[in-house]
Amino acid sequence: MHPAVGRARNAVKAALEEACWPSRVLVACSGGPDSLALAAAVAHFARRGAVGGHPLEVGAVVVDHRLQEGSGEVARTTAAVLGELGLSPVRVVAVEVRSSGEGPEAAARSARLAALEAEAAAWGAGAVLLGHTLDDQAEQVLLGLARGSGTRSLGGMRAVRGLYVRPFLGLRRADTLDVCAAEGLEPWFDPTNADPRYMRSRVRAAIMPFLEAELGPGVAEGLARTAAILGHDADFLDAEAARAYAELVERPRERELLLPGEPVRALPAALRSRVLALAVVELGGQPTFERLAAVERLLERRGSAGPVEVPGHVTAHRQPRRKGAPRGTEYGKLVFVSHR
């Protein structure tokens, strides 16, 4: 057995254990080397009907985004290969990628995830397996750094997060090519991965090789370690912020939330911004760094009391002090309103 095949199978087993041994899983497969290698590794256990002493059924979903000529044929060919590997059922799902101002990559991702979640629900799958590798993780962290993202974004992808399981986050892209070669599989290479119009493609084809050449080997592994460390930090801070938010938030009426000014202002900065973001998200808004900073300035009780507009039709303003209110009366609560 090729060493890469053994590493891939061990990675699948470890990830399913972390996911508490789901008995029925779906593999999301595009036909590319990463997801095809993942399908081959999972198929090893599917043919035995068990992994780690736990029963296992494995199906697959091929999402056809219909963005390239011949995508339907690629999807059908991939589905046939997956059936030959022993996965069942294998479904080809065509989706409509709607332009929503978030960019073509994000729009395609949204359509793909919606299709995968629908298929998982229909078949009763406890997990959807994705073929992201250590290289994908490193590229995501590098993109997050370039965009000035926070801890959650720099924490990258998790091996297990909700429905989604990513067994290959510890494997390099070269490993998946070795698995495909060892298993006699011919992967499809998505031409958009080399298209310089897409930022992630430029990172993959030009920036990461440049960094490896100039800084020496190990850059990708270093970025992936950064994601692992910051991911744990982000989990802790998010949990603390959720606890504080649950204690502080008031819901006086539909589409309106209140947060008390002084207790929120007293929170550590890392928690304060998260608590404000939770209020925005609960009302269906999309918090951004600049808009959250503007909301946070309302706590200073200097200058404008708002409203501050946040993407997603949400506003925030500081509650004014009522006329005639005695000194010491609590005022200055932050009021969040959805205008949908």
Q: Hey, how many other C-beta atoms are within 10 angstroms of the C-beta on 225?
A: 15
Give percent of the chain with pLDDT exceeding 70: 95
> pLDDT band at 323, cuts 50/70/90?
low
Query: Are residues 159 and 224 in contact, defined by beta-carbon separation less than 8 angstroms?
Result: no
Report, as an integer, the average pLDDT of 60-87. Answer: 92
Res 6: pLDDT: 96
Say whether pLDDT at 324 is over 80. no
Q: Give the CATH fold of the 3-230 domain.
A: Rossmann fold (3.40.50)
Res 191: pLDDT: 83
> pLDDT band at 328, cuts 50/70/90?
very low
For 166, the enclosing helix (H) or strand (E) is: none
Report, as an integer, the average pLDDT of 136-157. Answer: 89
Residues 83, 85, 91: CA angle, nearest 5 degrees: 30
> 32 labelled as ligand-binding?
yes
Say whether pLDDT at 50 is over 80. yes
Say whether pLDDT at 146 is over 90. no
Say whether pLDDT at 177 is over 80. yes
d(CA 151, CA 60): 33
- The strand order across the sheet containing 250-253 reads 250-253, 256-259, 334-338, 314-318, 308-310
> pLDDT band at 101, cuts 50/70/90?
low
In terms of pLDDT, which residue wins out, 220 or 319? 220
> 88 labelled as ligand-binding?
no
Identify the CATH assignment for 249-338 out of 3.30.465, 3.10.590, 1.25.40, 3.30.410: 3.30.465
Residue 6 CB-half CA count within 13 A: 3
Cα dihedral angle (289, 295, 300, 304), rounded to 10 degrees? Answer: 120
Output the six-digit token pair for 269: 């900065």
Res 236: pLDDT: 95
> 35 labelled as ligand-binding?
yes
Domains 3-230 and 249-338 share a fold: no
Going by their DSSP bridges, the two strands 314-318 and 90-94 should be labelled as: unpaired
> 131 labelled as ligand-binding?
no
In terms of pLDDT, which residue wins out, 278 or 66? 278
Give percent of the chain with pLDDT exceeding 90: 75
Report, as an integer, the average pLDDT of 294-322. Answer: 86
Going by C-alpha positions, the residue among 127, 215, 221, 128 that lies closest to residue 174 is: 221
Domain spans, the chain: 3-230, 249-338
Q: Is 320 helix (H, G, I), strand (E, B) or coil?
A: coil
Going by C-alpha positions, the residue among 272, 261, 268, 250 that lies closest to residue 305 is: 261
Say whether pLDDT at 157 is over 90. yes
Per-residue model confidence as pLDDT tens digits over 15-35: 999 999 999 999 999 999 999
Say whether pLDDT at 102 is over 70. no
Burial profile 249-287: b = 16 or more Cβ within 10 angstroms, e = fewer: beeeeeeebbbbbeebbebeeebbbbbbbbbbeebebeb
Angle subtended by helix axes 3-18 and 33-46, to nearest 10: 70
> 33 labelled as ligand-binding?
yes
C-alpha distance from residue 270 to each of 63, 125, 204, 251 (Å): 38, 36, 32, 24
Res 329: pLDDT: 45
> 175 labelled as ligand-binding?
no
* Residue entry with tokens 């000035």: 148
